[in-house]
Structure 1
Amino acid sequence: MLRAFSLQSLFMGLLIAFVGFASSFAVVLHGLIGVGASEAQAASGLMALSISMGLCAIVISAVTRLPVSIAWSTPGAALLASAGIVEGGFNAAVGAFLVCGLLVVVAGLWKPLGRLVSSIPAPLANAMLAGVLLSLCFAPVKAIAFNPLFGLPILIAWALVGSINKLYAVPAALIAFMLVITFGVEIPAGAFSALSSALVPTVEFVMPQFNVAAMISIALPLFIVTMASQNIPGIAVLKVNDYHPEPGPLFATTGVFSMLSAPFGGHAVNLAAITAAMCAGGDSHPDRNRRYWSAINAGAFYILFGLLAGVVTTFVSLAPSILIEAVAGLALVGAFAGSAMAAFTDPKTREAAAITFLVTASGVSFGGVSGAFWGLIAGGAMLALARFTGKKS
């Protein structure tokens, strides 16, 4: 293994970890706080996820000798932001995180469940995801309305850099956000001492609670989004680059690491898609048999970034929350566009997908259960009715 190590893979690993962390940590923080986490619990969750996905990437890539990139579930975090606080608060959400991880393990080891997830119509899954992402994608516009001097630099940095290289668009928006905080926001007294104390990693253990509302509102939709939007595309990216692992064990391993991070506030880790392409592509290393070191190095840097999660969270808290929501929204624009296009491409399922999208995007809960679940149910019922009556949607 050591002979396969290269400086190129070390640099690529650092780039992968930076892009993976910087482009979506804002979404994770917003999602965890959205289901009731305190600032300390959100920082603990961010740290747990970073360390968990770093260790998972190292273990899987070292064992399989394949460039398997691991990430947290960014669409899952966006789902949390739209789900809201359920009965039992963050403790119940953590219980749902555990159940979601268990479902991923079962899906990996028990093929019928994996096939059942795969059988969910892709237009409905994409419509649900688009509905979940919609409200967060409004945040950049709301940030500009809140204060143009704060919101516009973030949007402009994202647009300008994205027009040159989309990979660096969100990191550029994050840098603009940091500059806005440093030079535009009045820093309260004691902020620097708080940042100094945050250098020491703090773990917050959250005792999980289990109730039906949290299982239906969080666990089930989080499982579906993680599998359909992350794990399955992650396998597809590996296959495109001529790597053909057995999917089940990979899914099960990510589920185990998700369960390990859940009691400390982490929602889910999974196979990556975007950074998987960076790991498995030619830029990782000319020799395809040595590219797995990029994933291992990325895992090590994820662990390092995770240990700094307290500093990140404390720094972010210095600014109005709408600004970090704006960065999160910009990070999800591409995912929203892709999921919306996939949802409405097929005329036969377009109407059912529209119902799924609208119910989910409404954000309305029924019986304490979030709109994401009801959107999937409503779209599925519409699709079933159309097929039963022979109507062509």
Structure 2
Amino acid sequence: MPLRSIFAGLLAAAQVPEPLPPASGAAIEWRSPASCPDRSALLRGIETRLGRSLRPGELAVDGVVTVHATPPLYRLALRLRVGGPEERRTLAAATCAALTDATAVLVASAVARAPGDPLVGQANVPAPPVRAPAGARPRARPPGATPAGGEPAGAGEPAGAGEPAGAGEPAGASTSPGEAAQEATPPGAPAPDDPPPADREPALANAPVPGPETVEERALEPLQPATPRAEPARRPALGGFVRVQGGPEYGALPGMTGAVGLAAGLLWRRARLEVQGVWLAPRTAVRAEGELRASLAAAAVQGCARPGRGRVEVPLCGGLELGGMRGDARGVPDARTTTGLWLAVVAGAGVAVRLGARWSLTGALQLAGAIVGPDFQVRDPGPAVRLFAPAPVTGRLLVGVEVRLGDPR
């Protein structure tokens, strides 16, 4: 038993690793806000996870931590070189401490993987003892087997020596399976109770010791570049439209009449230019001297502003209208048909409600002030008698449907 204790003590002393040299001059550049862990904290984290001190020239680290207004608040631009090409990483985290811990893990892993590390392949962590399965008994020595001391089995032993090992030992004493195998095996021979080499737990060679995982480390993720926003489709600078309209009209012809028209033009973002044609249905003026049936066909050129937002637009237009008014006299001597010149200033205000991408419902009130208008008269021997003349100012209420082609709004 004394020899066994001395041997176990020497074996335990042989497994204690030699002390590693202290850290010196690691090339670590670490720039971070004042509230973050500093360079010394990062160095301690690397050496703790690596299990040893860093050597001069073993690595080069350059890290810059910045604070942002939107989550993740802390972002790191890291440059790392360990005996090879430089690596670049970008990390983000909710706290600066988690970002520092993540950097320590990355650096320690890179150093442990470096092929030029002289400690790679040397076990710096003691291998755990091999334990026998639960409930297993040590294998009994076969009859005639000679122990290490050279005395045959059973010699000098009391009755009951064939009992399992430890039966004759005092209470509290125990023999591990490894010790039993050493006692029953000659020097240099493999222990019969030892499992095959494949069943042994492998020794950890220079394995970095990871620190405790935190919530912040689990939440770490590489900072991906922001996805560029899709730009909205550019609208054309110039568009066009066609409009069909109609409604009542009063003043240009005798009594109330109806007007129909067609308009087309160009569209800009805040303005429009349109050409409008209009035809007024014939109406008859009855006088004691005779009758006159009149109609009007004219065309107008107008410029419009386009105030309004969204689906509603309020065009404000103004322009000139030129046309001819046809008069057909009846019931008078020498009756004939004639056409008089029509020239007027046109102004109007309307509304356009968008029903879809191209369709709009429109309404407008137009006023026309006659500059030049016809005067239909009957001339008999004596003074002339007027059968009809248009009013100085006429009004139209037009409702229509408009098709737009490439509206820039």
Q: TM-score normalised by the shorter chain: which range applies?
A: under 0.3
- Give the TM-score normalised by the residue count of structure 2: 0.16
Structure number with larger C-alpha Rg: 2
The structure in which a higher percent of residues are strand is 2
The structure in which a higher percent of residues are helix is 1
Higher relative contact order (CA 8 A, sep 6+): 1
- Give the TM-score normalised by the residue count of structure 1: 0.17
